[in-house]
Amino acid sequence: MTLNLTRRAALAGVTAAPFAASVASPLRAAGHGDAPKPLHARAFKVGDYTVHSLLAGTTARDGVQDIFGGGATDEAFAGVAAENFIPPDTAQFYFTPTLVDTGSQKILFDTGLNAGGITAALADAGVVPEEIDVVVLTHMHGDHIGGMTADDGAVTFANARYVTAAREYDHWTGLPEGNGGGDRVRASVSPQAEKMTFIEDGGTVASGVTGMAAFGHTPGHMVYMIESGGQQLLLTADLANHYVFPFAHPEWQTSFDTDKDAASASRRRVLEMLADSRVPMIGYHMPFPAAGFVEKRGEGFRFVPVSYQMMG
């Protein structure tokens, strides 16, 4: 794990000059030993905090160039795929919420596709839904809010308060009835409005947990810096929805992005920050356990997954 950056420096780096590179130390697994590792949860230490990446679901998708190659030629897209030893026409999608245990609070970032997926992943981390103190919604696409309620409408995280960006909530609840995304938010998220705190860029969720604007994927999409004991980790949410194409070419448009130009600009800005600072990241759709680093490669970037040596 890196990292000799303060939270102020990290926040400044998003909008100002790039950081000077710092010497990184390994992202450490939370535990060691010979016990079998759970399938759906992986723990890392960030200072005094324990961070769990939670695999809440996975699925294969076709039509990958249509999703991640807006503005790319067929030749260029196929070339990037070949360079990375992956097919150009299909991809495996991962849905990876993150749990941050500060010792005094358990903070869950996003809830997956459905209640079953997130509760199973939490169980592998040794946590039950009633223990969650805070649920942070990085944005309100269905694969991030789907686990807030069960099929019968029961609230999954009954004891939690909720945090999200004000402009994100306002966007989705302002859509007309009959809009699928808006209706989903009104059904799952709006009933929790009285327990919800709305934050802006630079807002604090808890000690050492800071929201950072990365708009474009949705109008209020946020990423979150975790900091403890001089170490940092950025939860990048849906800044990049695949571990190859949006890194290699941040300017290529992603079909899921609401404002594609703004999303591309946010992607390049944050990836530049991560590459310069050597701050590790967890990305919601990265291959599980979704943690890694960003390095510059030509005019773009490359996602470098954590190695087996860092997982314990």
**Is 2 within the bounds of a domain?**
no
Q: Helix or strand or coil: residue 162?
A: strand
Amino acid at 27: L
**Sheet arrangement for strand 204-206:** 204-206, 209-213, 222-228, 231-237, 281-283, 291-297, 300-305
**Number of independent structural domains in the chain:** 1
Tens digit of each residue's pLDDT (9 = 90 or more) over 5-45 = 333 334 333 332 222 222 233 445 555 555 555 589 999 99
Cite the DSSP H helix spans in the chain.
7-15, 64-68, 74-83, 115-124, 142-145, 166-173, 180-188, 245-248, 260-277
Placement of tokens 């535990």 in the chain = 31
Per-residue pLDDT, 6: 35
Per-residue pLDDT, 39: 81
**Is 311 within the bounds of a domain?**
no
Placement of tokens 């769990």 in the chain = 52
**Is 154 within the bounds of a domain?**
yes
**Is 12 within the bounds of a domain?**
yes
**Is 161 within the bounds of a domain?**
yes
Per-residue pLDDT, 4: 31
**How far is the C-alpha of 69 from the C-alpha of 88, rounded, in Å?**
10
Nearest to 252 by CA among 89, 61, 74, 85: 74
Amino acid at 110: D
Task: Quote the domain boundaries for residue 214.
Answer: 7-28+39-306
Q: What is the CA radius of gyration of the chain?
A: 18
**Is 1 within the bounds of a domain?**
no
Q: What is the CATH number of the domain that holds 97?
A: 3.60.15.10
**Is 171 within the bounds of a domain?**
yes
Mean pLDDT by 10 residues, the chain (312 residues): 35 30 41 62 97 97 97 98 97 98 98 98 98 99 98 95 98 97 97 96 97 98 98 98 98 98 98 98 98 97 81 44
**How far is the C-alpha of 169 from the C-alpha of 281, rounded, in Å?**
25
**How far is the C-alpha of 28 from the C-alpha of 46, rounded, in Å?**
8
Bridge partners for 45 per DSSP: 28, 50
Amino acid at 57: G
Amino acid at 282: I
* Contact (CB, 8 A) for 9 and 15: no
Per-residue pLDDT, 16: 27
**Is 47 within the bounds of a domain?**
yes
Handedness of CA 55, 53, 97, 124 (dihedral sign): positive
Tens digit of each residue's pLDDT (9 = 90 or more) over 49-76 = 999 999 999 999 999 999 999 999 999 9
**How far is the C-alpha of 186 from the C-alpha of 269, rounded, in Å?**
32
